[in-house]
Amino acid sequence: MLRKKSKVALTSASRRRTLFAALIFALICGRSVEADAPQVINHDEVQGFPDSTSEFLKTYQPYLKVYSGCVPFPAVDAAGNVSGGLKPSGFASDGCSKNFGQIYVRADEFKGECAVMYSWFFPKNKIGDWPTDMGSRYDWQNVIVWLSSCDGQAHVNAVSYWSSRGYYTTTKPHMDGTHPLVAYVDDYSIGHRVVGASTRGGMQPAISWFDLTYEAMFTLDLYDFGVSVPFITRNFYQNLARAYYR
């Protein structure tokens, strides 16, 4: 498997888009469709990436408190195998209540600020904690931490929380030191979403977008989860624009 060197220093958004487009073009042209098709494996068999973030990506990593539903799981492994998820049946946390999890991190400068997106994957989004089939296989959630600069001495200007209705941004987020406090809750009308929390939850092993293997990046970019992967290139900058609050 191929792995890129760690990239903490930020480049321009346009350069990143160009490099990523070139990478995907090379991968598509150099491999057959059959070879590229990700292997779907059981949701609890996906081996996540070890914690490897540092500097400001680690300094501002959120705590996540899960009040309803699944805990976070890895979506892909280093070989590009992808989680098969779970059918939205049974109770909300059936089959997905325990895992070390994974948090995916991507950052760039945006309109004079440093935007750091932290994303979680859940194998199912079961609406309501009763034995029905309401909901969906797979769920992606994210928050964007807006910093004054891309370094460990930055000030947290705001935090944006995703839901299926869009982003909600506050300039007065709940914090534990430098770490935003986030909760995963069931809205019942729209399923699960992330909101600000008053209680500290857990942290998951963090992996930067630029530290993923090419195989993992390729799967995340092309596999149809039925819901958008928030940090892949075609979605990342659109999401920053949607969440921007000034």
82: nearest Cα among 140, 5, 135, 141: 140
The pTM score is 0.87
Q: What is the pLDDT of residues 151-161, one digit of tens each?
A: 999 999 999 99
- State the pLDDT at residue 8: 46
On the question of pLDDT at 108 being above 50, the answer is yes
Length of the chain: 246
| 163 bridge partner residues | 166
Q: Which of 163, 190, 158 is nearest to 174 (CA)?
A: 158
Residue 46: the pLDDT is: 98
How confident is the model at residue 159, as a pLDDT? Answer: 99
- Give the integer Cα–Cα distance in Å for 216 and 2: 10
- Determine phi and psi for 190, rounding to 5 degrees: -125, 0
What mean pLDDT is predicted for residues 186-193?
82
Tens of pLDDT, residue by residue over 8-47, are: 445 444 444 435 544 554 554 455 444 567 899 999 999 9
